[in-house]
Structure 1
Amino acid sequence: MDRGSGRRVSRGMLPLLAFHAINEYYRLERKPPVTAGLLVANTLVYLRPGFLDHVLPALDEVWFNPHLVLKHKDLKRFILSAFYHMGESHLVYNMMSLLWKGIQLETSMGSIEFASMVAALLGMSQGITLLLAKALLLFFDYERAYYYEHAVGFSGVLFGMKVVLNSRSDNYTYVHGLIVPSRYAAWAELILIQMFVPGVSFLGHLGGILAGILYLRIKNFYSGLDPLTTILRSLTDVVRWPLRFLRDLSCFRRPRISGRGTVGGSRTGRDVSSLWRCPACTFDNSAWLNVCEMCGTRRRRDGLSSTRPLNQHRDLSMEEVRRLRIERFGG
């Protein structure tokens, strides 16, 4: 069991994870940003690169231990333990599961609601695990196995996500070689992992399943968005407001910037519908203007041609048009 805090080097599985994640994202039309952020966050915490090595706490400081969490009211252990992993295989297995579940859920739910769900599942799975360990101690005096156990990993959240993903499915799925109804896949995986994989946290996985069920019950209770999603959406709107303001401001100003059309010649590559040509001097004007910028001829109401100039009652001669062009372009 690795309790070190130093930086780690990949043994070959992380490049495979990176290749698989890039391949999956490449084929998606809409890239789920929250899923990508969670993948990167978990991987960086495991690798501990130089700029994070002195910032992140050591593994010994973030073990999820019910006794220490309750005794010291240690929120650091309560939250950060989900983002730490024991080894490369532990990380890669969880991240592959996160990639598959996250893409499906975030694509169908939307990024804000998905982020709200992940935060809720994280808090509820850790809280339920804590309550279960304390209950076993108080009512059954069963302390050694669960109340003092040390656990890390994103598995609790992943079990909750599996419950949410399969909650309305009537299909069947494979769970380690067994065909089971999809809505019971999380329970089957819980039992099979406990039977054949030593050293896993039974309460942590069970807490994740119960958190998923509780999340669905709460979700059904609200007819609209849940409070956490509403808060996240409001915060997102606040962050995006300056960007929207600048974008709208640029869009508002863009039509006011005179396009300065061409004099005669071709209009290739331009939006012809946004220009009108003055028949007196053949200057192409912006559709936002009603008077020719070159000679002052007023545009007709049909927007296709122009009438005589405002201050003139005769057609311009070729010499006058040439003089106006020279004055216009300073040449």
Structure 2
Amino acid sequence: MERGRWSGGALSRGMLPLLALHAVNEYYRLPWKPPVTAGLLAANTLIYLRPSFLDSFLPFVDEVWFNPHLILKNRDMKRFFLSVFYHVDESHLVYNMMSLLWKGIQLETSMGSSEFGSMVVALLGLSQGITLLLAKSLLIFFDYGRPYYYEYAVGFSGILFAMKVVLNSRSDNFTNVHGLIVPARYAAWAELVLIQMFVPRASFLGHLGGILAGILYLKLKGLYSGPDPLATIIRELTGLFRLPLKLIRNMFRLRRQRISGRGTVGSERRSLSGTWRCPACTYDNSDWLRNCEMCGTSRSNNDGVLRQTSCHSRDLPLEELRRRRVERFG
């Protein structure tokens, strides 16, 4: 999260094409494209760009700044939940989205989309809630807590810090944090200190809340051995959305299996009701016909046992059989 006044859309957008190019390149080389990460990237970018067709739906940044005082005073949950999707300027957005792209691809690929989506929702609530609790606690117990209680902040970085904790929780490797080599499991703490030193506008409580949210999420997940209920709900909802698409796809598949005319050609021996299947060319004919429309083979009266009148019809290629049918009914 970052403090300061809103300047979204007012600056040059020269960095956004680079972000788009990088995202497309990363997704192109992946055999499986993580959809939740892509959705989060698109949502954050669209909110920053604020195209005209979204004007009637999107609140303005003045309505969503994360401000502990206003959230608690007015019980303003809009500020609580939406502030993470707004960014101060282009560099703020691009830096966060680059980080989201790298962390999101790794986490979603390893966890699956349903569980990853569930984790993002949980981390959003935990990080914002912990930040709010920290700000209120500092105001009550310490004199210097007042600026934190009244500060304005926006941005996705609190959730990104939580993701970093989850991603590196089981790693014994070392990682590079802005030129400093540290154990991967402590990378979020090192980044918290370095960012606060070199980017004074960054929200210290917002980032700290994200780290603590990641730790708490791992603790809660370790205590609960059953299936993630939120991930189950997300999985069921996505299954409902997939059902109409599956039905449409099956309809087109059935159409491709049929040919124009009054019958079908196939390899199954079971024929449709009111038809009989020719053993020579497997064409389905109407029960009213005694001879096959396609190849001329006649039908016997022995309940499905068919008799050929043409000794060459079984050897005819399919294209020749189709040509003969066209000539017959042309």
Using structure 2 for the length normalisation, give the TM-score.
0.79
- 1:3 aligned to 2:3? no
Counterpart of 2:100 in structure 1 is 98
Maintained 8 Å contact 2:279/2:306: no
Residue from 112, 115, 122 that aligns with 2:117 = 115
Cα distance change, pair 75–56 in 1 and its aligned pair in 2 (3 A):
same
Moved more, 112-121 or 214-223: 214-223
Cα distance change, pair 166–330 in 1 and its aligned pair in 2 (3 A):
same
Residue from 242, 245, 248 that aligns with 1:240 = 242
Counterpart of 1:17 in structure 2 is 19
Maintained 8 Å contact 1:9/1:47: no
Counterpart of 1:163 in structure 2 is 165
Q: Note the C-alpha offset of 1:250.
A: 5.9
| 1:58-78 per-position Cα deviation (integer Å, ceiling 9, x unaligned) | 222211000000000101110
| 1:198-255 per-position Cα deviation (integer Å, ceiling 9, x unaligned) | 1111110011011111111122222232111111112222222333344456667876
Counterpart of 1:43 in structure 2 is 45
Maintained 8 Å contact 1:14/1:88: yes
Q: Note the C-alpha offset of 1:3.
A: 3.2
Counterpart of 1:230 in structure 2 is 232
- CA distance in 2 between counterparts of 1:54 and 1:27 reads 37
Maintained 8 Å contact 2:36/2:117: yes
- CA distance in 1 between counterparts of 2:11 and 2:298 reads 73
Counterpart of 2:329 in structure 1 is 330
Amino acid at match of 2:15: M
Counterpart of 1:127 in structure 2 is 129
Amino acid at match of 1:97: S
Q: Which runs of 5 or more structure 1 residues have no equivalent in the other structure?
A: 262-270, 276-280, 299-305, 310-314
Q: Which runs of 5 or more structure 2 residues have no equivalent in the other structure?
A: 270-277, 285-290, 313-320
- CA distance in 2 between counterparts of 1:206 and 1:194 reads 11
Q: Note the C-alpha offset of 1:121.
A: 0.6
| 1:84-125 per-position Cα deviation (integer Å, ceiling 9, x unaligned) | 111111111101000100111111111111111111111110
Instruction: Specify the SS of the correspondent of 1:179.
Output: strand
Cα distance change, pair 317–132 in 1 and its aligned pair in 2 (3 A):
closer
Amino acid at match of 1:23: N
Counterpart of 1:153 in structure 2 is 155
| 1:269-299 per-position Cα deviation (integer Å, ceiling 9, x unaligned) | xx9x779xxxxx9953269xxx96642458x
Counterpart of 2:68 in structure 1 is 66
| 1:155-190 per-position Cα deviation (integer Å, ceiling 9, x unaligned) | 000000001111111111001111111111111111
Instruction: Specify the SS of the correspondent of 2:147.
Output: coil
Matches within 5 A, 1:214-229: 214-229=216-231
Counterpart of 1:308 in structure 2 is 307
Cα distance change, pair 182–293 in 1 and its aligned pair in 2 (3 A):
farther
- CA distance in 1 between counterparts of 2:311 and 2:231 reads 69
Instruction: Specify the SS of the correspondent of 1:180.
Output: strand
- 1:205 aligned to 2:237? no
Maintained 8 Å contact 1:283/1:292: no
| 1:9-39 per-position Cα deviation (integer Å, ceiling 9, x unaligned) | 5331111111111111111111111111111
Cα distance change, pair 286–207 in 1 and its aligned pair in 2 (3 A):
farther
Amino acid at match of 2:150: Y
- CA distance in 1 between counterparts of 2:146 and 2:325 reads 95
Maintained 8 Å contact 2:6/2:89: no
Amino acid at match of 2:5: D
Maintained 8 Å contact 2:83/2:153: yes
Residue from 277, 281, 285 that aligns with 1:284 = 281
Amino acid at match of 2:146: R
- CA distance in 2 between counterparts of 1:317 and 1:14 reads 71
Instruction: Specify the SS of the correspondent of 1:168.
Output: coil
Cα distance change, pair 165–328 in 1 and its aligned pair in 2 (3 A):
same
